[in-house]
Amino acid sequence: MPTNLPPQALAKWEEYTRAKTPEEKLKKLEEFYALMPKHKGTEKMEKFIRRRMAELREQIEKRKSAKRGKRPSLMVEKRGAAQLVLVGFTNSGRSTVLSSLTNARVEISPNPFSTIRPVEGMMEFRGTQIQVVEAPPLVPGGVGGTTGIAMALASNADVLGLVVNALERPIDQLKELAKMLRERGIVFGKPEGYVRIKRSKAAPAIIVTNKGRILDGTEDDVKRILSSYGIKRAWVEIEGRVTLEDVEEAVFGEKKYKPFLVFVTRSDLDDKPLGLIERALKDKAVAVLGVPFKKLDKDWLGKKILDALGLIRVFTKAVKEKEPAERAVILPRGSTTLDLAGVIHESLKEGFRYAKIWSKRLPYSPMKVGPDFVLDDCDIVEIHARG
Ligand SMILES: Nc1nc2c(ncn2[C@@H]2O[C@H](COP(=O)(O)OP(=O)(O)O)[C@@H](O)[C@H]2O)c(=O)[nH]1
Ligand SMILES: [Mg+2]
C-alpha cells in the first residue's frame, strides 16, 4: 500500500479484494475506511475509497429497486443523437437552460429544489436532435439523495452541461462541480492519457503495455502500486501522458472523461464572469454560453456537440427521390459509404455497387465514389446496389 497502513487495516483490505457481492465489498470497505489512518498523506486514498463506497451503495440501491419491480426512476432512456445532462446546484438555472434549448415544459422557480426528478426535452437542429436532461440539484458535499441521482445521470451522459450562476462565485461553483464529479470518477474535458486495468486470472502476472508515457515514474512503479493493492494478475494498458496518481485512481475504476459545456446564467445581470470563464476554458469546453442566450444558434451548438463526440450526420437519398431524407443517419466519424449501406440494410451492403455524394467540400457534385469513401458531416448520399 502506498501509505503505511496498520496490519488490521491491511487485513480488511485483503478481505475486501476477496469479497464477491457488492454488499460484502461495501461492508469490508467501510471497515477498512474506519481503520485507515487519515492525514495529508492518505487524502488521495480516502478520496478513492469514498468514491468506491458511493458506487457500491448505488449498485446495491439499483439492484434493490429492480427487485421491488420499481423502475429505476433515476435513469432517463437515451433518445436522439446524444444525451446532454445539465448539472448544477439548486437555483443555478438548469430549468431555464432546458427551456431555452428545448420545448420541454419545465417549472422555472426561485424555490430551491423545485426539480427533483430528471426532466427531459429535445433540442432540434438540422437533421437530428440532442436530448437535454435536467438533473436534480447537486448539494455541495452531498452524497445521496438528489446528488446521488444527479451523479448517476452525469455518469451515464454523453455530454455534461455545467450550469453556474454568475452572481454566486461561478468559478468556485465550477471548481466544486469538478471536485464532486471527480470523486465519482467523472472528469470533464479531454484526457491527456488513459490507464486501463483489467484484472484477470489468465494474466501470468501484472503485464504493463505502455503505449504512452508515465510522467513521474516507471513501469515498475505501476507494478508496485498494483501489488500494494493486492492485485497480482492484470493487464495494464497505458496510452498518452499519465501520472502514477492516474494509475492509483484506475485501481478504483476507470475514469470517465466527458466533453462539457458551461452555461453561465444571470449573465444579463453580470456579464463579467462569462468573459473570465470563456477565457479560462475556451480550449477545454465544447462551448461556454451566457444565459439568457443573446442569439442561440442551435445548428452551430448541435454541430459542436456532435463534433466533440466524433459523430457525423449523413442525409440519404433514395435513387428515385429528388430530395434527401429530412432526418440524418448518425454515424461515427470515419465511417465509409459501405458502413452507411450496412446501417441502412444488409442487402444494400451486400449488393453495393457505388454511391453518389453531394457535398460542398467536393470539387463537383454529385461525385461517384466506391465503398471505401470516407463520409463527412452533412454529406448527401445516394447508394446504388444490385438486386
Ligand atoms: N435574470 C435571470 N434570472 C435567471 C436566469 N436563470 C435563472 N434565473 C432565475 O433563477 C431562478 C431559478 O431558475 P431555475 O432555472 O428554476 O433554476 P434550477 O433550480 O437550476 O432549475 C428562477 O426564478 C429563474 O427565473 C438568468 O439567466 N437571468
Ligand atoms: Mg429546475
Angle at the Cα of 29 from the Cα atoms of 23 and 30, rounded to 5 degrees: 90
51-69 residues labelled b (16+ CB within 10 A) or e (exposed) = bbbbbbbbeebeeeeeeee
Q: What is the pLDDT of residues 238-255, one digit of tens each?
A: 999 999 988 988 887 778
- Ligand 1 atom having least distance to the Cα of 291: 27
Q: Pocket of ligand 1, candidates 90, 91, 100: which has the most ligand atoms within 8 Å of its Cβ, to mutate?
A: 91
Q: What is the pLDDT of residues 103-122, one digit of tens each?
A: 888 877 777 666 677 899 99
Question: H or E stretch including 214?
Answer: strand 213-214
C-alpha of residue 210 to centroid of ligand 2, in Å: 45
Q: Is the Cβ–Cβ distance between 200 and 233 less than 8 Å?
A: yes
Give CA–CA dist 164/318, Å, rounded.
46
pTM of the prediction?
0.81
Q: Which three cell numbers stand for residue 315?
A: 442525409
Nearest ligand to the CA of 168 is: 1
- Ligand 1 atom having least distance to the Cα of 113: 19
As for ligand 1, residues whose beta carbon falls within 6 Å of it are: 88, 90-96, 108-110, 114-115, 265-266, 268-269, 291-292
At the fourth CATH level, the homologous superfamily of domain 82-190+257-308 is P-loop containing nucleotide triphosphate hydrolases (3.40.50.300)
Q: What is the pLDDT of residues 195-237, one digit of tens each?
A: 999 988 899 999 999 999 999 999 999 999 998 888 889 999 9
pLDDT band for position 375 (50/70/90)? Answer: very high
Q: What is the pLDDT of residues 72-98, one digit of tens each?
A: 456 788 999 999 999 999 999 999 999
Q: Give the domain 312-385 fold.
A: Ubiquitin-like (UB roll) (3.10.20)
Domain boundaries, the chain: 7-67, 82-190+257-308, 193-254, 312-385
The backbone torsions φ and ψ at residue 71, rounded to the nearest 5 degrees and listed phi first, read: -70, 130
Q: What is the pLDDT of residues 122-153, one digit of tens each?
A: 999 999 999 999 999 999 887 778 888 899 89
Determine which residue's CA is closest to atom 28 belonging to ligand 1: 266
Q: Which residues contact 32 (CB under 8 A, 6 or more apart)?
A: 9, 12, 13, 16, 49
Q: What percent of the chain has pLDDT over 90?
A: 65
The backbone torsions φ and ψ at residue 333, rounded to the nearest 5 degrees and listed phi first, read: -60, 140
Determine which residue's CA is closest to atom 6 belonging to ligand 1: 93
Q: Is the Cβ–Cβ distance between 122 and 77 less than 8 Å?
A: no
Q: What percent of the chain has pLDDT over 70?
A: 95
Q: What is the pLDDT of residues 160-199, one digit of tens each?
A: 999 999 999 999 999 999 999 988 889 988 888 989 999 8
